[in-house]
Amino acid sequence: MRPKEETDMAATHHQESLLVVPEERLFSKFLRVVWEHRAWFQIPLDVMAWAMAAALVWLASGSSWNAGLSLAVLVAVTLHVGLGGILRLYGNRFNYGSFSEYGELVALTLVIGCVVVVMRPADAALAVLMVTAALVLMSGPRYLVRYLHQRTTRPTSAERVLIVGAGDAAESLVRQMLSDSTGPYLPVGLIDDDPRKRHLSIQGVRVRGTSENVAELVDCLNVAGVVIAIADSEPEFLTVCRERLRSSGCWLRTIPPLAELVNRRVDVSDIRDIKVEDLIGRSPIHTDMTEIRAQIAGKRVLVTGAGGSIGSELCRQLWSLNPESLVLLDRDETALHGVELALYGSALLTSPNTVLADIRDQHALERVFDEARPQIVFHAAALKHLPVLERFPQEAWKTNVHGTLNVLRAAEAVGVETFVNISTDKAASPTSELGRSKRVAERLVSGITNDSTGTYLSVRFGNVLGSRGSVLLSFQEQIRQGGPVTVTDPDVTRYFMTIPEACQLVLHAATIGQDGYVMVLDMGEPVKIVDIARNLVAMSNTPTEIVFTGLRAGEKLDEELFGDYEGSVVKIHEKISRVEAPELDATILPPTTASRHTIERFYADVCTDSRLKLASFPEVKAIGEARAA
The verdict on residue 482 lying in a domain is no
Residues 509 and 603 in one domain: yes
Return the beta strands (E) in 91-236 as ranges: 159-164, 185-191, 201-202, 205-209, 225-228
pLDDT (tens digit, 9 = 90+) per residue, 410-461?
Answer: 999 999 999 999 999 888 888 899 999 999 999 999 999 888 889 999 999 8
The verdict on residue 533 lying in a domain is no
Residues 69 and 197 in one domain: no
Gap between the Cα atoms of 64 and 417, Å rounded: 84
Residues 368 and 423 in one domain: yes
User: What is the pLDDT confidence band of residue 145, given thresholds at 50, 70 and 90?
Assistant: confident
Residues 169 and 257 in one domain: yes
Predicted local distance difference test score (pLDDT) of residue 121: 77
Residues 432 and 311 in one domain: yes
pLDDT (tens digit, 9 = 90+) per residue, 253-311?
Answer: 888 876 666 566 788 888 888 877 777 755 556 667 788 898 899 999 999 999 998 99
- Vertex 522 angle, CA 515 and 494, to 5°: 120
Half-sphere exposure of 104 (CA within 13 A, CB side): 19
User: What is the pLDDT confidence band of residue 53, given thresholds at 50, 70 and 90?
Assistant: confident
The residue that leads in pLDDT, 119 or 381, is 381
The verdict on residue 8 lying in a domain is no
The verdict on residue 326 lying in a domain is yes
Find the range with the poorest average confidence among 514-518, 561-565, 604-608. Answer: 561-565
Residues 295 and 245 in one domain: no
According to DSSP, the β-strands at 205-209 and 185-191 are: parallel
Residues 257 and 167 in one domain: yes
Last residue of one domain, picked from the residues 250, 274, 298: 274
Residues 325 and 354 in one domain: yes
- H-run or E-run covering 252: strand 251-254
Gap between the Cα atoms of 402 and 360, Å rounded: 7
Give the CATH number for residue 313: 3.40.50.720
Highest mean pLDDT among 27-31, 116-120, 144-148, 352-356: 352-356
The residue that leads in pLDDT, 624 or 335, is 335
- Among 448, 307, 301, 317, smallest CA distance to 380 is for 307
What is the extent of the structural domain holding 249?
Answer: 159-274
User: What is the pLDDT confidence band of residue 37, given thresholds at 50, 70 and 90?
Assistant: low
Residues 221 and 355 in one domain: no
Secondary structure class of 204 (helix, strand, coil):
coil
Is the pLDDT at 536 greater than 50? The verdict is yes
- 264: DSSP letter: S
Is the pLDDT at 323 greater than 90? The verdict is yes
User: What is the pLDDT confidence band of residue 555, given thresholds at 50, 70 and 90?
Assistant: confident
User: What distance, in Å, lies between the first and last C-alpha atoms of the chain?
Assistant: 95
The residue that leads in pLDDT, 135 or 627, is 135
- H-run or E-run covering 460: strand 455-460
The verdict on residue 282 lying in a domain is no
Last residue of one domain, picked from the residues 137, 153, 169: 153
- Among 491, 490, 386, smallest CA distance to 438 is for 386
Residues 149 and 213 in one domain: no
Bond prior to 141 in cis (omega within 30° of 0): no
- Among 280, 264, 287, 249, smallest CA distance to 509 is for 287
The verdict on residue 441 lying in a domain is yes
User: What is the pLDDT confidence band of residue 379, given thresholds at 50, 70 and 90?
Assistant: very high
The verdict on residue 132 lying in a domain is yes
Residues 329 and 245 in one domain: no
Residues 373 and 306 in one domain: yes
DSSP 339-385: HHHHHHS---S--TTEEE--TT-HHHHHHHHHHH--SEEEE------
Last residue of one domain, picked from the residues 153, 173, 190: 153
The verdict on residue 486 lying in a domain is no
The residue that leads in pLDDT, 182 or 446, is 446
- Among 21, 113, 12, smallest CA distance to 72 is for 113
Which residue type sits at 276? V
Gap between the Cα atoms of 143 and 146, Å rounded: 5
Bond prior to 484 in cis (omega within 30° of 0): yes
Gap between the Cα atoms of 526 and 495, Å rounded: 4
Query: Domain total for the chain?
Result: 3
User: What is the pLDDT confidence band of residue 11, given thresholds at 50, 70 and 90?
Assistant: very low
Is the Cα torsion angle 32, 38, 40, 44 positive or negative in sign?
A: positive
Decide: 339 and 413 in contact? Cβ < 8 Å: no
In degrees and rounded to multiples of 5, residue 104 shows phi and psi of: -65, -40
Gap between the Cα atoms of 279 and 550, Å rounded: 25
Q: How much is the pTM?
A: 0.64
